[in-house]
Amino acid sequence: MQLYNTLSAEERAILIDDAGKQRLTLSFYAYAKIEDPKKFRDDLFRAWNALDALGRIYVANEGINAQMSIPEENLEAFRATLEVYDFMKGIRLNEAVEHDDHSFLKLTIKVRHKIVADGLNDETFDVTDIGVHLKAKEFNAILDDPNTIVVDFRNHYESEVGHFKNAITPDVETFRESLPIINEQLQNHKEDKNLVMYCTGGIRCEKASAYFKHQGFKNVFQLEGGIINYAKQIEAEGLESKFIGKNFVFDNRLGERITDDIISQCHQCGKPCDNHTNCENDGCHLLFIQCDECKAAMENCCSTECLEIIHMPLVDQVRLRTGKQVGNKVFRKGKSENLKFKHSGELPNTALATSEKPSDIRQKIKVKKVLLGKAEHYYVKAQVGQFTIENQQLNVGDKILISGPTTGDQQLTLDKMVVDGAETTTAKIGDKVTFEVPFRIRLSDKLYKIVN
């Protein structure tokens, strides 16, 4: 059996839509001694692939860290695959606040040196000697204690859109950076303060709590299950949310709303906004906050330079990034001189605006479609798009869908098309076809035939 993905993300998305089954987005972690991470990885891949489980999972000698999407009907079968291992018996599965059937589109399980990179090389450090776990009600109570210091162990682009009120929010890009910064900042409070910490799902502050106990801090606490579990508990128990804003997540959603408060700004115009995007330029992919108006005007780009680049022919775009560590090879974490309204470090506790009530994230228009090919070029003045046909044939009269992260889903009926300079009624696999498109398309766009 092949122990890797054989379908593209686009093909997987079509299969998910066609199946019409509800999926759950969830996460879990466990620190444990794993003797053979490679074998462990392969065993998990076989078991989870059979259940149509998707996600991003890291395994190492120190344990497992997983963010996943699974069909709801397979939840109990999925739990059974975990119960095989003693260290995962009864493990807590953090279900997302907002589910999305497309949160993950591949099953990726990687063997890493550590499941959470910490930069530590201290053999006396015991990652299992952790602080006291607090549920939401207990966490709220200890935050009201004037003797408490609360620390956000996430990165700057996460805390910018949402955090606990009065938390220390380190201006860092990685977890490993935050440990020495907080250690130095709180050196004089090892015995007289409650050191309370939180993160997205619990895995980072679990290691941090062990680290600070190792450093001699006496009263160390952590939010059990992180922000995800906290949000579930405050809703179920009718508690006040001391978290304000949105919880950043590392899947295709890029965030789930905890409260209606918007505490951050569009990085380009300053309008209240907390929606992250990735720059459309494949040679950039900068993560930043962008409002709908700037998204339309800048076509998903972080700068005028990137906007100019995405309008270049593909061959010129590839030439510009040849030999550079760009695109998906580097996760650029939201810091650039082009982002005039970027904030990090000390952050506000008050809202700039209130979000509109979102529609059910599951309510998608189900359109049966078949992937035909991809966009190659758009001739702006002529309003003509060029596509390569890679699967099945395209006929005049077909209803088609052009889809992409910025373009959205645009439907039209094909009235006429041109192949090799001649008007034709049928385009076959391998043909480059051009036809009028009354809206801007991009190189990331896909061409589908609607079949229902």
Active site residues: 199
The one-letter amino acid code at 322 reads T
Give φ, ψ of 155 to 5 degrees: -95, 170
Calculate the alpha carbon distances from 23 to 20, 26, 348, 432 in Å.
9, 10, 35, 37
User: Cα 304 to chain center, whole Å?
Assistant: 25
> Could you tell me which residues come within 8 angstroms of residue 324 by beta carbon, excluding any fewer than 6 positions away?
283
For residue 220, what are its two tokens? Answer: 């160390």
Tokens for 427, please give them: 């385009």
- Please spell the DSSP secondary structure of 303-350, one letter per residue: SHHHHHHHTS-HHHHHHHHTTS--GGGS---S--TT-TT---SS--SS
∠ CA(151), CA(287), CA(99), 5° rounding? 75
Asked whether 40 and 34 are in contact (CB, 8 A), the reply is: yes
Interior CA angle at 12 toward 38 and 68, to 5°?
Answer: 50
Q: Are 244 and 349 in contact (CB under 8 A)?
A: yes
